[in-house]
A = this chain, B = another copy of it.
Amino acid sequence: MKLWEENIRRVVPYVPGDQPKGERLIKLNTNENPYPPAPGVARALAEMDTAQLRKYPDPGAFQLVRALAKRYGVGEDQVFVGVGSDDVLAMAFLTFFNSDKPVLFPDVTYSFYPVWASLFGIPYETPALDEDFFVRTGDYKKENGGVIFPNPNAPTGLYMPLDQVEEILRANRDVVVIVDEAYIDFAGPSALELISTYENLLVVQTFSKSRSMAGLRIGFAVGSPALIKALSDVKYSYNSYTMNLPSIVMGVEAVKDEAYFCETTKKIVATRERAKARLRELGFRFPDSRANFIFASHRWAPAQQLFEALKNEQIYVRYFHAPRLESSLRISIGTDEEMDALFHFLEEYLKGK
């Protein structure tokens, strides 16, 4: 090793799901929405003046902030936007978790939390989920430097009812509590309704799932003006222009079309419920997901074998080589046709074993 290499940061890189390419493949591995973005997005793109790209975008992405504030019935000083919810969450770790006490998040959860904590030197503890993968709210009542959990959780899809979310909030008045709601639009009531009561609550959401815009990278946080100001200050101190012009312009259109949003979200939920019934018939079991994926293990067929067999058929699902996760597959909810192709293959495959 050369001397200059000695001071290079050592990390364990995150491995994103495959982004395979091809005409016939069925992609159920990265929790993307199977439906295109709202029609207004294509119109906004067609009308975009590329000459404007020579200029810096508005650092505050104000058009988008305003559209979100209106949609969610909050003040414009209560919304922060970033380049995907990963960007928003990383910025929130950096801004709010500066205590010597450990931040708390579940042992089975979004895999970036421990990565950000390590990167920023934040101590953390990971209370174990119960044996059915539920969060034990009691574990979040001890002294800590902050709390974060996804709701629904990943990769289980389990939704925590708002009374339990509030139980955690009531026990944590002196730290910032972040609820990461990437999948909330497929689930149930959002913790957004608690932000006026708890000014230490930050709710983070994304355009990547329910708004069909993973390709644009838009995430946002909603909370009290004090939290949003702190987040903005850190963001501006670090990189003041992150949201590009196409994201701002197209993001606004996605937020405005409530009818399309409701329609596609409902379709995905209906397909998910049908998928649960069908997977049960095929011998799978799984936590009762409220997200746009199902985290399923088969009664006797090993997950990794199923993963490989599906991949050979050009059907991509997600498999995690990790303790407590390696006996399951995470299957994103596609269109009804895509799911039927999956079920058809599984039926034949399991019959032949």
Main secondary structure of the interface of A (DSSP, over half): loop
* A16 in the interface (beta carbon within 8 A): yes
**Which of A70-78, A212-220, A269-277 is near enough to bind chain B?**
A212-220
Residues of B within 8 A of A97 (CB): 7
Pair B12/A87 contact, Cβ less than 8 Å: no
* A131 in the interface (beta carbon within 8 A): no
Pair A11/B237 contact, Cβ less than 8 Å: yes
Contact of A83 among B11, B112, B242 (CB under 8 A): B242
Give A208-230 as 1s and 0s: 1 = Cβ < 8 Å from B's Cβ atoms.
Answer: 10001111110000000010001
What CA separation (Å) do A174 and B1 show in the bound complex? Answer: 11
* A50 in the interface (beta carbon within 8 A): yes
- Known: A95-B9, A216-B244. Is A87-B239 also a contact (CB below 8 A)? yes
By beta carbon, the residue of chain B nearest A94 is B9
Give A253-293 as 1s and 0s: 1 = Cβ < 8 Å from B's Cβ atoms.
Answer: 00000000000000000000000000000000000000000
* A305 in the interface (beta carbon within 8 A): no
Pair B30/A53 contact, Cβ less than 8 Å: no
* A349 in the interface (beta carbon within 8 A): no
**Which of A31-39, A154-162, A338-346 is near enough to bind chain B?**
A31-39
Residues of B within 8 A of A173 (CB): 3-4
* A197 in the interface (beta carbon within 8 A): no
Nearest Cβ on chain B to A169's Cβ, whole angstroms: 11
Pair B86/A239 contact, Cβ less than 8 Å: yes
What CA separation (Å) do A55 and B216 show in the bound complex? Answer: 9
* A59 in the interface (beta carbon within 8 A): yes
Residues of B within 8 A of A58 (CB): 19
**How often does this chain occur in the complex, in copies?**
2
- Known: A239-B86, A242-B83, A242-B87. Is A42-B36 also a contact (CB below 8 A)? no
Pair A215/B98 contact, Cβ less than 8 Å: no
Interface centre among A12, A16, A243 (most CB of B within 10 A): A16
By beta carbon, the residue of chain B nearest A120 is B120
Nearest Cβ on chain B to A298's Cβ, whole angstroms: 27
Nearest Cβ on chain B to A333's Cβ, whole angstroms: 13
Pair B53/A240 contact, Cβ less than 8 Å: no
What CA separation (Å) do A41 and B50 show in the bound complex? Answer: 7
Give A3-20 as 1s and 0s: 1 = Cβ < 8 Å from B's Cβ atoms.
Answer: 111011101111110010
* A106 in the interface (beta carbon within 8 A): no
Pair B53/A8 contact, Cβ less than 8 Å: no
Pair B48/A240 contact, Cβ less than 8 Å: no
- Known: A19-B58, A174-B4, A239-B84. Is A11-B233 also a contact (CB below 8 A)? yes
- Known: A9-B230, A41-B50, A215-B56. Is A237-B119 also a contact (CB below 8 A)? yes
* A110 in the interface (beta carbon within 8 A): no
Residues of B within 8 A of A176 (CB): 4, 7-8
Residues of B within 8 A of A214 (CB): 53-57, 241
* A153 in the interface (beta carbon within 8 A): no
* A116 in the interface (beta carbon within 8 A): yes
User: Which residues of A are at the interface with B, using a C-beta cutoff of 8 A?
Assistant: 2-5, 7-9, 11-16, 19, 27, 30, 32-37, 41-42, 45-46, 48, 50-59, 83-84, 86-87, 90, 94-99, 112, 115-116, 119, 121, 145-146, 173-176, 199-200, 208, 212-217, 226, 230, 232-234, 236-247, 250
Q: Give 29 CB contacts A-B under 8 Å.
A: A2-B174, A2-B199, A4-B176, A7-B99, A8-B230, A9-B234, A13-B237, A32-B54, A33-B54, A35-B54, A37-B50, A42-B50, A45-B45, A45-B50, A52-B215, A54-B212, A57-B214, A83-B244, A84-B241, A90-B238, A90-B239, A94-B119, A112-B239, A121-B121, A215-B245, A216-B244, A217-B243, A244-B247, A246-B246
